[in-house]
Amino acid sequence: MPRYLISFDDGSMDHIPDEDWPSVGEASHEVVREAKAAGVWIFGGGVERQQSTIVATDGTITAGPVPETKAVVGGFSIIEVSTREEALIWAARIAAGCRCAQEVREIMFDPES
Superfamily of segment(s) 3-48+60-107: Dimeric alpha+beta barrel (3.30.70.1060)
Long-range contacts formed by 34-43: CB under 8 A, 24+ apart: 34/93, 35/77, 35/79, 35/90, 40/79, 40/80, 40/81, 40/86, 40/90, 41/77, 41/79, 42/3, 42/78, 42/79, 42/80, 43/77, 43/78
Residue ranges of domains in the chain: 3-48+60-107
Residue 68 has what pLDDT? 64
Residue 20 has what pLDDT? 97
Instruction: State pLDDT tens for residues 46-79.
Output: 988 777 888 989 999 988 766 666 677 889 999 9
